[in-house]
C-alpha cells in the first residue's frame, strides 16, 4: 500500500502515486483499482468523436480490455452517455461509466434466504452504466449487488450466474477494504455499518432469478 505522504491536492488536480489525476474522484478510483490489484492506464489514448474532438477516456484496464469512465455526480448527462456510446462504436471495447464514490453498508447477501438472512458488508452508493452492443450507457447491475457487478466488471467472475458464497465473501471483503483505504488516503468519510432492510433482498424472485438487467443504487 502506498503512503498517505504521496497525496497532494492542487485545485481540481489530485496526485496519486506518480500520476496527476484531473479530479479527486478519478484519483480515488485509481487508488481503489490499485488496492484490488487491477492493472490500468490513465488517459492513454485520445479519440475523435462526433462533436467531441480530443476525447480522452479516463481508464483503460489492461487485462479486462475495457474502458472505465468516472463521473463524480449523481446523474450521467446525455452528453456523457453519448461519449461512452461513441467510444464503444469506434473502438469496439466495452465502456463502463461509474458515477459517484462507494459507501460501505450491510445488506442481505445473494445467498440469503428467509430462514437465514445472512447480512454482509458491501460497497454501494455509486452507479455503473454499460455501453456495448446491447446496452447504450444504461444502468447495469448483477444480483442487485454492487460488489457482484464490480467483480464481473473486473473479470473476477468468469460467469455472472455461477459463483460460490466463499467467492462472494472474498471479493466483497476485498472491495470494502479497498474502499476504506482509498477513503482514508484522501481524507473522505464513508458511511458504514448501516443495516439496510427491504424486500428487494429477501424476495424469492431475487434469490432465484439473477438478472443483469435490474438496477440497484443505494439512496445513501
Q: What is the DSSP string of 128-147?
A: EEEESSS-EEEE--BTTBHH
16 occurs within a structural domain: yes
Q: Which domain holds residue 61?
A: 4-208
40 occurs within a structural domain: yes
Q: Are 27 and 59 in contact (CB under 8 A)?
A: no
Q: What is the helix (H) or strand (E) element at residue 116, kind and residue range?
A: none
Residue 5 CA from chain centroid, whole number:
26
114 occurs within a structural domain: yes
Q: Which of 35-39, 109-113, 144-148, 211-215 has the highest mean pLDDT?
A: 35-39
So what's the pLDDT on residue 187?
85
So what's the pLDDT on residue 188?
81
Average pLDDT estimate for 155-180: 89
Cα–Cα distance measured from residue 23 to residue 12, given in angstroms and rounded to the nearest whole number: 5
So what's the pLDDT on residue 160?
65
So what's the pLDDT on residue 13?
87
Average pLDDT estimate for 38-46: 96
So what's the pLDDT on residue 107?
87
Tens of pLDDT, residue by residue over 91-126, are 999 999 999 999 899 888 888 888 888 888 999 989
217 occurs within a structural domain: no
The tally of domains found in the chain comes to: 1
**132 CB burial (10 A radius; 0-12, 13-18, 19+):** middle
Q: Which of 135-139, 156-160, 172-176, 187-191 has the lowest mean pLDDT?
A: 187-191
Q: Which of 44-48, 154-158, 190-194 has the lowest mean pLDDT?
A: 190-194
DSSP 208: H
Q: Model confidence at 63, in pLDDT bands (50, 70, 90)?
A: very high
98 occurs within a structural domain: yes
Beta carbons within 10 angstroms of residue 45's beta carbon: 12
So what's the pLDDT on residue 142?
87
Q: Is pLDDT above 70 for 14?
A: yes
DSSP 195: B
44 occurs within a structural domain: yes
Q: At what angle do helices 165-185 and 146-153 cross, to 10 degrees?
A: 90
Amino acid at each position: 500500500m502506498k503512503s498517505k505522504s504521496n497525496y497532494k491536492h492542487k485545485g481540481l488536480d489530485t496526485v496519486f502515486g506518480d500520476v496527476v489525476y484531473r479530479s479527486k474522484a478519478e484519483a480515488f478510483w485509481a487508488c481503489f483499482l490499485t488496492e484490488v490489484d487491477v492493472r490500468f492506464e490513465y488517459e492513454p489514448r485520445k479519440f475523435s468523436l462526433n462533436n467531441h474532438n480530443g476525447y480522452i477516456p479516463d481508464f483503460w484496464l489492461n487485462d479486462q480490455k475495457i474502458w472505465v469512465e468516472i463521473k463524480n455526480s449523481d446523474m450521467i448527462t446525455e452528453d456523457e452517455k453519448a461519449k461512452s456510446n461513441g467510444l464503444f462504436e469506434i473502438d469496439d471495447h466495452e465502456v463502463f461509466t461509474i458515477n459517484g464514490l462507494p459507501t460501505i453498508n450491510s445488506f442481505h447477501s445473494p445467498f440469503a434466504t428467509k430462514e437465514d438472512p445472512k447480512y454482509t458488508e458491501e460497497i454501494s452508493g455509486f452507479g455503473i452504466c454499460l455501453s456495448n452492443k446491447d446496452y447504450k450507457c444504461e444502468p447495469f447491475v448483477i444480483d442487485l449487488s454492487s460488489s457482484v457487478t464490480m467483480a464481473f466488471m473486473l473479470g473476477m467472475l468468469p460467469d455472472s450466474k455461477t459463483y460460490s458464497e466463499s467467492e462472494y465473501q472474498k471479493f466483497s471483503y476485498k472491495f470494502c477494504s479497498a474502499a476504506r483505504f482509498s477513503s482514508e488516503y484522501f481524507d473522505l468519510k464513508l458511511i458504514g455499518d448501516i443495516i439496510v432492510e427491504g424486500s428487494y433482498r429477501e424476495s424469492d424472485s431475487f434469490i432465484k432469478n439473477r438478472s443483469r438487467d435490474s438496477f440497484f443504487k443505494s439512496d445513501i
